[in-house]
């Protein structure tokens, strides 16, 4: 098969990812599961030709030097893809992810409507968290598109690589790609505050330098959106604080308490009807109670309880969301129990066993 034929198959099957490896046929990830294509195993020459066809001359030189490369590419008449080419056991391997040609709305993605309110905040830090492939970039793109559709703002994105392509509507959107439009995240972030942004989207917070700029920008009156590879809101707080040495951690807690707007954590679960996947979410809003808990290392442990009890603010935990999806028949029992943060407690709640302190669960029973 030619690479285009493989990609056409990928798009037809609505696959999220494609893996090309020597000795195996092309493998698609559909609804989270791997499916090999019924074709001959790929040779080293096959993959070398596929990789060369995707890269420019400069990208090929970068790959030879660094042995891996990340970029995005648009295939005419087909779709846009995020590409990672790397070496494994001395041979070339390729991983590609489909990027939808249009940005879906918050409603189309079945995300909580509270995300609209968060996107309309004038300033502060909003983080989308989850594992790879959980929908972080898609969620932030939907929030940016909501701003673009309803508000007149200057939005600057710094991405590696650029994934979703935005068209200016009410807002002006400047998209900068690391390696093409700027040397690095650090370089772009050093200058971004002089480019008159209202909203800054940072593709991913990877280090303390990026975290510093994100907090500074949020503290100086900008809305900052970014992602972290953490599992839930409580772990996100701990991860941010752990970026810093002990003598700076209290200062970071103060900054977080004054700038954090919310944390959106995501997991994609298979639907009971077999038709795709549905996002399960955990939403933490920086209420006065949460801000108080952020300041005190001991009280930080109470954040999960505050999330469960904060339904009136638009908050809910993963287990509450999963319970709701199960009660509505969107996911099955096995998926619900296996995806819960606390499977044993989840089973108890299914049997109606509830602690008197768990007032936040009443709306989900």
Q: Are residues 246 and 332 in the same domain?
A: yes
Q: Are residues 226 and 121 in the same domain?
A: yes
Q: Are residues 305 and 328 in the same domain?
A: yes
CB atoms within 10 A of CB 243: 17
Residue found by looking up tokens 């941010």 in the block: 240
CB atoms within 10 A of CB 199: 26
Q: Are residues 208 and 349 in the same domain?
A: yes
Q: Which of 220, 199, 224, 217 is nearest to 127 (CA)?
A: 224
pLDDT at site 185? 85
Q: Are residues 316 and 248 in the same domain?
A: yes
Total domains present in the chain: 2
Residue 64 sits in a domain whose CATH number is 3.30.450.90
| Residue at 67 is within a domain | yes
Per the document, the length of the chain is 365
Burial letters for 115-142: b for 16+ Cβ neighbours within 10 Å, e otherwise?
A: bbebbeeebbbbbbbbeeebbbbbbbbb
pLDDT at site 79? 87
| Residue at 275 is within a domain | yes
Contact of 263 with 247, CB cutoff 8 Å: no
Q: Which helix (H) or strand (E) holds 68?
A: strand 68-75
Q: Which of 99, 129, 146 is the last residue of a domain?
A: 99
Q: Are residues 292 and 170 in the same domain?
A: yes
| Residue at 290 is within a domain | yes
Q: Are residues 210 and 87 in the same domain?
A: no
Whole-model pTM? 0.87
| Residue at 104 is within a domain | no
pLDDT at site 356? 43
Q: Are residues 89 and 130 in the same domain?
A: no
Per-residue pLDDT of the chain (365 residues; tens, 9 = 90+): 899 999 999 999 999 999 999 999 999 999 989 999 999 999 999 999 999 999 999 999 999 999 999 999 988 888 899 999 999 999 999 999 999 878 999 999 999 999 999 999 999 999 999 998 899 999 999 999 999 999 999 999 999 889 899 999 999 999 999 888 999 888 898 899 999 999 999 999 988 999 999 999 999 999 999 999 999 999 999 999 999 999 999 999 999 999 999 999 999 999 999 889 999 999 999 999 999 999 999 999 999 999 999 999 999 999 999 999 999 999 999 999 999 998 998 998 888 765 544 556 665 55
Q: Are residues 93 and 156 in the same domain?
A: no
| Residue at 132 is within a domain | yes
| Residue at 213 is within a domain | yes
Q: Are residues 94 and 126 in the same domain?
A: no
Q: Are residues 201 and 95 in the same domain?
A: no
Q: Which of 76, 99, 122 is the last residue of a domain?
A: 99
Retrieve residue 143's tokens: 């929030």
| Residue at 109 is within a domain | no
The pairing of strands 79-88 and 91-99 is antiparallel
pLDDT at site 184? 86
The torsion region of residue 75 among left (phi > 0), alpha (psi -120 to 50) and beta comes to beta
Residue 134 sits in a domain whose CATH number is 3.40.50.300
Q: Are residues 17 and 120 in the same domain?
A: no
Retrieve residue 310's tokens: 């904060």
Please give the residue range of the domain that contains residue 27: 3-99
| Residue at 108 is within a domain | no
């Amino acid at each position: 098969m030619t690479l285009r034929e493989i990609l056409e198959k990928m798009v037809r099957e609505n696959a999220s990812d494609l893996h090309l490896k020597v000795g195996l046929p092309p493998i698609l990830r559909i609804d989270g599961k791997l499916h090999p294509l019924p074709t001959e195993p790929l040779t080293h020459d096959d993959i070398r030709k596929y990789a060369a066809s995707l890269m420019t001359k400069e990208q090929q030189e970068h790959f030879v030097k660094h042995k891996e490369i990340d970029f995005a590419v648009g295939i005419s008449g087909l779709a846009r893809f995020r590409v990672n080419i790397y070496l494994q056991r001395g041979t070339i391997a390729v991983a590609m992810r489909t990027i939808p040609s249009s940005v879906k709305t918050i409603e189309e993605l079945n995300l909580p409507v509270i995300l609209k309110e968060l996107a309309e905040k004038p300033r502060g830090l909003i983080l989308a968290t989850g594992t790879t492939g959980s929908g972080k970039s898609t969620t932030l793109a939907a929030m940016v598109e909501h701003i673009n559709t309803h508000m007149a703002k200057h939005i600057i994105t710094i991405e590696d690589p650029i994934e979703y392509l935005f068209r200016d509507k009410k807002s002006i959107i400047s998209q900068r790609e690391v390696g093409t439009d700027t040397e690095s995240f650090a370089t772009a972030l050093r200058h971004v505050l002089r480019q008159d942004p209202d909203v800054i989207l940072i593709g991913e917070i990877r280090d303390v330098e990026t975290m510093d700029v994100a907090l500074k920008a949020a503290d100086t009156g900008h809305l900052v959106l970014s992602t972290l590879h953490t599992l839930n809101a409580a772990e996100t707080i701990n991860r941010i604080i752990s970026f810093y040495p002990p003598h700076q951690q209290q200062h970071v807690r103060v900054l977080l308490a004054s700038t954090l707007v919310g944390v959106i954590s995501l997991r994609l679960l298979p639907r009971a009807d077999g038709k795709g996947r549905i996002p399960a979410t955990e939403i933490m809003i920086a209420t006065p109670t949460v801000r108080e808990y952020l300041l005190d290392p001991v009280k930080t442990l109470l954040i999960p309880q505050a999330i469960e009890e904060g339904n009136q603010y638009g908050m809910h935990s993963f287990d509450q969301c999963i319970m709701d999806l199960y009660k509505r028949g969107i996911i099955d029992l096995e998926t619900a129990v296996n995806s819960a943060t606390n499977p044993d407690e989840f089973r108890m709640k299914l049997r109606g066993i509830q602690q008197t302190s768990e007032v936040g669960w009443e709306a989900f029973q």
